Amino acid sequence: MTDPNDNRRQVLYWRLLARLFDAEEQSTLESASLAVVEDIGLPPALLDPNAAVDSIVQRHPGLAAEFEGLMVPESGDDRDKAAEVRRAALVSKVLLNVFATGSGTVTAGQLSRWQADAAWLERAFGCRPGQLRGGRQAGRTGTGGGAPDLGTLIPEIGPELGAIEADLVKRMHLREVLADPALAAQLTPSMSLIEQLLRDKGNLSGVALANAKALIRRFVDEVAEVLRAEVEQASVGALDRSVPPKRVFRNLDLDRTIWKNLTNWSPDEERLYVDRLYYRRTARKTTPQRLIAVVDQSGSMVDSMVNCAILASIFAGLPKVDVHLIAYDTQALDLTPWVSDPFETLLRTNLGGGNDGMVAMAMTRPKIAEPTNTVVVWISDFYETRVEELFENMAAIHRSGAKFIPVGSVTSAGRGSVNPWFRERFKDLGTPVVSGHVRKLVHELKTFLTS
């Protein structure tokens, strides 16, 4: 005998497919889906294509917990078919809101609503908002069982979400929105929006340019907060015992101070007299190091450009680290004078164009004064104009004693394509391409700079 829950689930998923591939309503599927949703006690608003997930959760707060981790695979073989019907209704809502974006002009409010719905989809996969799209808050949620292996479960969803968002931004009359402070205030900065702002900054002026800069600054500050935490969590150098501890309150070693002064305890007065205060050592052993970051600023590497500019500014703030930043496409630009301010750095970039790494190499080689104290980080997809000549120069840097780190991407999502010709030769050279999450690069740099 067929379980009625099987039919209910199929109705909901057939409606999902119909709405994804055809904007017109299928009245039979709509009425059948409405009957299912009402029968299982869910709000009919789940079937309203104009209702944002946020608004549904505001009216029905109990659903928030159900949306969290909604698509994380459950352990065990037992199937609760009634629960699967409920899950199908919630899944359908999130997927339709994110993937059925229609056509025509997009308003600032519509973009903002899509971003919020996309954040709910990311939560459904056990991620934090922005993680799959390579946005501001990489990490995991506290959903039971942890986040799934996104690289194998849904390998293309991150880039696909980014592509949808980029399309929405292109369909929005961005200059008109930026010229209106009320509309500009509705925008939520994201990698796709920042890319468009950086590309269009030369055509903006007045209020529109000021609002664009404010959005870029806001995004930079938010990403910097995440990346700074990654740097602080990475391994650091050993304590330097030759440097006396700073005698400030935050370094006071209270336990040691009490232990060392116990002989001064007065039982009669029940008071401990302290003759000497003890402080913790916080200085780390470091040697002067030079970090040269070279980043491909062609259109496909915009997220790497943003993250690299911010990372360079963070490392520039470390003691005894001399940071240089070079960006290139078919021309090279030395951004070192602005390396401490990623906002100013990004305003000076010129996204787009081809790839000729040799123009950046000509600027990089003279900066390597002491190879053993130098690390060169080269961030690109390595689809270059002068392939063999560039690789030979990179190999020469490696042979000189400098540390050479080729990087395929420094995105929060950890995805990026790399020219397989370069990948194989870097592997043979003993300097494999660093790819994946930005924390891998952070770890490599911290290990070198603080060892």
Give the mean pLDDT of the chain: 81
pLDDT value, residue 26: 84
pLDDT single digits (tens) 102-123: 888 888 888 889 989 999 998 8
Selected residue with higher pLDDT from 283 and 295: 295
Cβ atoms < 10 Å from Cβ of 437: 19
pLDDT value, residue 56: 93
Q: Whole-model pTM?
A: 0.63
The residue among 441, 411, 347 whose CA lies nearest residue 161 is 411
- Quote the CA–CA distance of 327 and 377 in Å, as a whole number: 12
pLDDT value, residue 106: 87
pLDDT value, residue 347: 85
Residues of the chain with CATH 3.40.50.410: 289-449
Which range in 132-136, 149-153, 212-216 is most confidently predicted, on average pLDDT? 212-216
The residue among 216, 17, 51, 29 whose CA lies nearest residue 120 is 51
Which range in 17-26, 63-72, 86-95 is most confidently predicted, on average pLDDT? 86-95
pLDDT value, residue 281: 64
Selected residue with higher pLDDT from 326 and 138: 326
As a whole number, mean pLDDT of residues 49-77 equals: 85
Locate 64 and state its tokens.
């928030």
- β-partners of residue 271 are 266
pLDDT value, residue 299: 63
- Quote the CA–CA distance of 331 and 348 in Å, as a whole number: 13
Percentage of residues of the chain with pLDDT beyond 90 = 30
Residue 358 Cα distances to 33, 78, 309, 419, angstroms: 60, 59, 21, 16
pLDDT value, residue 288: 59
pLDDT value, residue 112: 87
How many residues does the structure list for the chain? Answer: 451
As a whole number, mean pLDDT of residues 175-189 equals: 88
Cα 36 off chain centre by: 38
pLDDT value, residue 416: 61
Q: Is 324 helix (H, G, I), strand (E, B) or coil?
A: strand
pLDDT single digits (tens) 288-306: 588 999 988 876 677 778 8
With bands split at pLDDT 50, 70 and 90, how would you rate the model's confidence at 188? confident
pLDDT single digits (tens) 259-277: 788 888 888 888 888 888 8
pLDDT value, residue 165: 84
* Residue appearing with tokens 């809502």: 93
Does pLDDT of 145 surpass 60? no
Residue 301 main-chain phi, psi, to 5 deg: -115, 20
pLDDT value, residue 367: 94
As a whole number, mean pLDDT of residues 372-388 equals: 90
Does pLDDT of 449 surpass 80? no
Terminal Cα distance for the chain, rounded: 68
Do the Cβ atoms of 72 and 92 come closer than 8 Å?
no
Selected residue with higher pLDDT from 161 and 61: 61
CATH number listed for the domain at residues 289-449: 3.40.50.410
